[in-house]
Every structure is written in C-alpha cells, then in structure tokens.
C-alpha cells in the first residue's frame, strides 16, 4: 500500500522540484549600473549581437577559470545589414566591450584572455534547443593581451571597446567565449566583459548567455534561480559581444562534429549494465554526450542539462513483484569541491520513482560536493521496491566535467549493517552502544540525541567482521527521557540515517552497568536474524541459549567467560520454523529469560 502512496506522491515531488531555489555562494557585481552601450560603427557591413538596444550593462570581475559566453545565431541576431541572414557566416573580428572599475591608477594594467568561437555542445542532440546545450569545443580562437592606456581612461572611465581580429567560417549558430587567463594589478582592476542587465528574470532569450565562474559552477545559463543565484536580485542577460563578418559567405565552414554516442551508457537503450548486489563504479561524465535533462524527465519544463549524462541499468534476479531492497550512493570523485551532481531513478514498469536521492520527501539537489543517496533498504523510510529493470541517470550539475563514484549495495551487503543499538541509563549519563555486522568505507558515525548531533565517532573504514562501539553522553539530566539515533557517513560524505532508535532516562544512583540484565532482542519479530544484548555487573561464566516453547534447546549463543559491561550476540534462525522462542541467560547465579517471535 505504501508503495502505491509513494508513486502517487511523485507528481507532488515533481512540482516541488521545479520551484526549488538553490542557495549558492554570492558573486558580487563589481561595477555600478546605468552605463549604456551601442554597437560600434565602421567595423563590418554585418554585425551580430544579442544586446538589447536599450540595454544597460555591468559585469563581474575576472577570477581564475572565469569565462563569459554568448550564443549567436545569424538568423535571429543579425542587424539589418546582415542580408540574406543565412549561413555560411564568415567572422572577421569580434568587438569586446570591456568594463573597468578603477581610477587613474588602473592605467597601465594588462589583462590576458582567450577569445574563441565554440560549437554548441553536442550539436546533434535531439529534442533540445541548441542554445541550451552549453558551449562545446572551440573551433577557432586567439589569445588577447591588452594594456589599458591613458587614452582609454580619458575617453570613458567606465568602459572601452576592443576590436579583436578573429577569422572563422561557421555553418550554424555558435558561441563566442571570452576566457580569463591572467592580469596584473589589484583584484577587480582588470577590464572585464560586459553583460546586459535590463533583461528581467527569467531572460527572454533563455540560454543565450553563459557564464563559467571560479566557484566551480561551470557553464550555466541564467534564468532566475534555476541554476545560479549570483547575488541578491542579480539576473544577467546576454553577454555583450559584437561579431563582425559576412552572411551568406563563400568561405568553407568548419563543421561542428556530433557527439559520439557509441559508448555504453549514452542512452537507456544502451545503458551500462551494473552489478546491483555489491559494486563500485567510477564514471567520468566528460566522456558522455548530453542526452537527458532532469527537469524534462520530471516536470516537462524546457531546461536542459549543461553537462553529459550517463545511464546505468540493472535487473534484480528476484521474481517480479518480490521486494527488492538496495542502497546507492553517488559522489563527486576527486573533483572540485563545488561540483554538484544530480540524478534520477526509473523502472521499466513504474517510470520515475525517485530523483536526486530524495525519496518521497525530496527537497531537490544535494549541496555542492555533496552525495546523493538512494536508500531503499529494509527498515528505511522509503522501504523496498519491487524487482524490475532499473535505470539510474547521472548528470553533472553545471560543472563540466567530473568523474563520479557510484556505489551499489543490496540488502545483504549494505555499506554498514547495524546489528544492535542500545542506550543504557546511568547517573547523569547515558551509554550509547551499537554493533555492526560489517562496514564498507565508513568514515565516521554521528550520534543524535533528540534530533541534535552530540558526538562524532570514527568508523572502521572497511571491516568484514564488524565492530562494537560505545559512547558515554554526559550532557544529560536525571529524570529526563532521551531518544538516540545513529547516522553513518562514508568517505565520500554519503549519510545514512539508521531507523533504529533507543531511549534512556538517567536517574540518581544508577550506574552505566549496574545489574545483570537480559535485554529484549532487536528486531522483534524478526526474519531470520536478530540481536540479543545483555549486561553484566561483574565478569563471569555466561551461558545464553535459545529454546522452543516446548523446552527443546535449539541454539547455544554464548558459553564462556565474559567481562563486565554490555554484550551483543546475533541469533540466526534460518533453519528454524516460524513461531515463538525463549532465550535464557545464566551468569554468577543469576538467571533471566525473554521471549521473541520468528516470523517468516
């Protein structure tokens, strides 16, 4: 029933995704608004630009890896002199309006940048407007070095227009990209490219302006907060370049080469077949074309992925409609810490079931450098799905490009399996203990008390045999009941909130282990394994046995000397039939019994 509710809620999840606004570091403007610019004269018979005729302009400053790009199409962006407005188009030069925000002390500073003509990425990608595909490979370009003169400053202390000779013949729409290399002088003193501020959010020509910022965002077009919010109320319009040349030229055009789609993983018709039981994959998104768009996959909005996607697929061996439990984590791998990844999960029968590791309580994308987790393991809030053919679509969130690490686990080999979790009350303190069956790349655990993290405990990394952990919480008051829960983190930052909770009420006179006690097994009922914990006030010879309700001994779990403290042992009832069982502990003349239910 809950799975039906999950599917029904997906529509609401999709709607919330479209309206989700991201919080990203602010990138302040470096100049004042209000400057206006018009196309330069006497450059060529035909000038292409996307500048609003009434546009006012501004700019961000140069920083490492910054690039500014404009999508240009001779059929829509040419002035009246570009007739007929058809290809090929012979580029002769590009006018670059450069803004500088300094006084007379900026005269003599030098800026170095690369000006290039680029193909739209994956020019043959079907179903996506070309200006939403992001800048692709450079087909021609030139290195520019310019030193600001006194005449530049005297003529206009805000900006000047630099004419850069650049010969190139194109056979379709293209990008003009100005990429920062270096400059001398103080930060913000170098002249930087301009963009049109007058276009309201979202821009009327979505996809025409592209920016690559040093924060690691990558190329991303500006449309409100869809991809980047760069300062309060900032929504840049088109980058200002004037491309001089001739339309319907006789030149031999450089043809943009379509992206190679022969690699497995390029489409869901030819996915990368993966082992869902226990596998780790390093997939470099730079190797793939841009075929899919997360927004389109969910809500039908026309926003395109800026980077390459890859498709992974697997088919569980369990019969159709049998529960299928799994856990997936997706993390940037040795990338810029500001890299953001996004993904979505579908099945052949149900279609979209999850996106960006969000489950039915999704809140959009993970943070920069964050890890997505698809937790459909036993006991998780999302529960298990049915066996089917699954498709996992992984996409770079803005930055091109980055390898990603994808880890797959089934329910038998989760990254960490918690076999017991207990909170034992003391006098003014609570001892929290837990045991694991095995751990895979576990970096640390966080202990939450009433929803707040109170401790971080180092994990074992990789451990096939598991480990027992203990933490004494002294930040409690006697007479108050506290609820504890555990969160595990792997080395990629993926977090898994474990569903088990434990409560304890510290009291005056209580000790961490003040008695011989046999605790209730967990889980109960169980199938086929459960964990039994017991406390020893003093060391002693312990026997712990399991009996059927008719008194027949079915298992001996402990028979030997044990130290004082808390102990946990696992009981595997794979060979037993369903029903009630009794377990009994004997130590130092003390006996205790508990009941448990095996339900297969």
User: Which tens digits make up the pLDDT trace of 94-127?
Assistant: 999 888 666 677 788 888 999 999 988 766 556 6
Q: What is the pLDDT, as a whole number, of residue 261?
A: 75
Six-digit token pair at 40? 């330069």
Q: What is the pLDDT, as a whole number, of residue 445?
A: 92
User: Which tens digits make up the pLDDT trace of 337-357?
Assistant: 556 677 888 888 888 888 766
Mean pLDDT rounded to a whole number for the chain: 75
Lowest mean pLDDT segment, chosen from 343-352, 374-383, 548-557: 374-383
* pLDDT over 70 (residue 328): yes
Q: What is the pLDDT, as a whole number, of residue 13?
A: 24
Residues 6+ apart with CB under 8 A from 295: 17, 18, 301, 302, 303, 304
- Tell me the backbone φ, ψ of residue 5, rounded to 5 degrees: -65, -40
Q: Do 261 and 122 contact (CB within 8 A), yes or no?
A: no
User: Which tens digits make up the pLDDT trace of 382-419?
Assistant: 778 888 899 998 876 544 567 888 988 887 777 787 87
Q: What is the mean pLDDT of residues 7-16?
A: 24
What confidence category does residue 37 fall into, taking pLDDT thresholds of 50, 70 and 90? confident
Q: What is the mean pLDDT of residues 357-363?
A: 46
Alpha carbon 382 to its chain centroid, in Å, reads 19
Q: What is the mean pLDDT of residues 321-334?
A: 80
CATH of 513-600, one of 3.90.1150.10, 3.30.365.10, 2.60.40.10, 2.60.40.1930: 2.60.40.1930
Fold of 415-512: Immunoglobulin-like (2.60.40)
Q: pTM for this structure?
A: 0.60
What confidence category does residue 305 fall into, taking pLDDT thresholds of 50, 70 and 90? very low
- Domain 2-17+261-413 is in which class? mainly beta
What confidence category does residue 140 fall into, taking pLDDT thresholds of 50, 70 and 90? very high
Q: What is the mean pLDDT of residues 224-249?
A: 64
* pLDDT over 90 (residue 34): no
Residue with the bigger pLDDT between 299 and 251: it is 251
- The β-bridge partners of 444 are 458, 489
Q: What is the pLDDT, as a whole number, of residue 107?
A: 81
The domains spanning 2-17+261-413 and 513-600 adopt the same CATH topology: no
Q: What is the pLDDT, as a whole number, of residue 201?
A: 47
What confidence category does residue 45 fall into, taking pLDDT thresholds of 50, 70 and 90? confident
Residues 6+ apart with CB under 8 A from 467: 435, 436, 439, 460
Q: Where are the domains of the chain?
A: 2-17+261-413, 31-247, 415-512, 513-600
Sign for the pseudo-dihedral over CA of 114, 115, 117, 118: positive
Lowest mean pLDDT segment, chosen from 139-143, 375-379, 481-485, 580-584: 375-379
* pLDDT over 80 (residue 449): yes
* pLDDT over 50 (residue 217): no
- How far is residue 229's CA from residue 156's CA, in Å, rounded to a whole number? 31
Choose among 195, 217, 155, 177: nearest CA to 31.
Answer: 195
* pLDDT over 80 (residue 90): yes
Q: Which of 278-292, 456-470, 574-588 has the highest mean pLDDT?
A: 574-588
Q: What is the mean pLDDT of residues 574-580?
A: 88
Q: What is the mean pLDDT of residues 235-241?
A: 74
- How far is residue 492's CA from residue 436's CA, in Å, rounded to a whole number? 20
* pLDDT over 90 (residue 56): no
* pLDDT over 50 (residue 221): no
Classify residue 517 as exposed, middle or buried by CB count within 10 Å of its CB (0-12, 13-18, 19+).
middle
What confidence category does residue 93 fall into, taking pLDDT thresholds of 50, 70 and 90? very high
Six-digit token pair at 435? 């045991």
């Amino acid at each position: 029933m809950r799975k039906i509710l999950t599917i029904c809620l997906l529509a609401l999840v999709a709607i919330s995704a479209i309206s989700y606004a991201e919080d990203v570091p602010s990138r302040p403007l470096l100049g004042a608004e209000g400057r206006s610019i018009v196309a330069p004269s006497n450059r060529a018979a035909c000038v292409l630009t996307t500048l609003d005729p009434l546009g006012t302009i501004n700019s961000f400053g140069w920083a490492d890896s910054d690039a500014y790009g404009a999508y240009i199409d001779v059929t829509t962006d040419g002035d009246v002199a570009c007739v007929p407005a058809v290809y090929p188009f012979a580029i002769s030069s590009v006018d670059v309006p450069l803004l500088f925000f300094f006084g007379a002390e900026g005269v003599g500073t030098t800026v170095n940048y690369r000006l290039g003509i680029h193909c739209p990425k994956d020019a043959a990608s079907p179903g996506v407007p070309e200006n939403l595909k992001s800048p692709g490979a450079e087909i021609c370009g030139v290195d520019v070095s310019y030193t600001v003169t006194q005449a530049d400053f005297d003529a206009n202390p805000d900006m000047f227009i630099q004419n850069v000779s650049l010969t190139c013949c194109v056979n379709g729409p293209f990008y003009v990209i100005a990429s920062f290399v270096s400059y001398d002088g103080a930060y913000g003193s170098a002249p930087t490219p301009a963009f049109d501020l007058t276009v309201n959010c979202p821009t009327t020509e979505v996809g025409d302006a592209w920016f690559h910022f040093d924060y690691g965002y990558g190329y991303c077009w500006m449309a409100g907060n869809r991809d980047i919010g760069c300062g309060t109320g900032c929504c840049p319009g088109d980058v200002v370049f004037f491309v001089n040349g001739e339309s319907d030229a006789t030149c031999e055009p450089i043809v943009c080469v379509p992206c190679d789609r022969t690699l497995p993983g390029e489409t869901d018709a030819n996915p990368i077949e993966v082992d869902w039981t226990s596998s780790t994959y390093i997939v470099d998104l730079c190797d793939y074309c841009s075929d899919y768009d997360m927004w389109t996959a969910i809500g039908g909005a026309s926003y395109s992925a800026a980077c390459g996607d890859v498709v992974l697929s697997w088919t569980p061996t369990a019969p159709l409609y049998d529960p299928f439990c799994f856990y997936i984590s997706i993390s940037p791998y040795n990338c810029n810490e500001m890299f953001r990844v996004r993904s979505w999960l579908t099945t052949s029968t149900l279609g979209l079931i999850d996106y960006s590791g969000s489950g039915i309580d999704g809140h959009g994308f993970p943070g920069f450098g964050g890890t997505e987790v698809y937790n459909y393991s036993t006991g998780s809030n999302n529960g298990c799905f049915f066996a089917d053919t699954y498709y996992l679509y992984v996409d770079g969130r803005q930055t091109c490009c980055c390898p990603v690490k994808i880890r797959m686990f089934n329910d038998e080999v989760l990254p960490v399996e918690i076999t017991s979790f207990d909170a034992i009350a003391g006098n003014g303190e609570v001892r929290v203990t837990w045991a694991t069956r095995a751990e895979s790349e576990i970096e640390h655990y966080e202990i939450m008390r009433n929803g707040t993290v109170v401790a971080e405990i180092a994990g074992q990394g990789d451990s096939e045999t598991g480990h027992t952990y203990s933490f004494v919480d002294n930040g409690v008051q006697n007479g108050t009941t506290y609820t504890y829960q555990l969160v595990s983190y792997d080395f990629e930052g993926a977090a898994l909130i474990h569903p088990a909770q434990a409560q304890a009420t510290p009291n005056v006179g209580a000790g961490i282990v003040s008695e011989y006690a046999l605790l209730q097994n967990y889980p109960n009922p169980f199938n086929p394994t459960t964990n039994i914990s017991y406390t020893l006030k003093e060391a002693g010879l312990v026997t712990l046995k399991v009996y059927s309700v008719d008194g027949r001994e079915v298992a001996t779990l402990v028979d030997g000397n044990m130290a004082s403290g808390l102990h946990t042992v696992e009981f595997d009832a794979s060979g037993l039939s369903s029903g009630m069982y009794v377990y009994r502990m004997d130590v130092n003349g003390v006996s205790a019994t508990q009941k448990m239910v095996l339900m297969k």
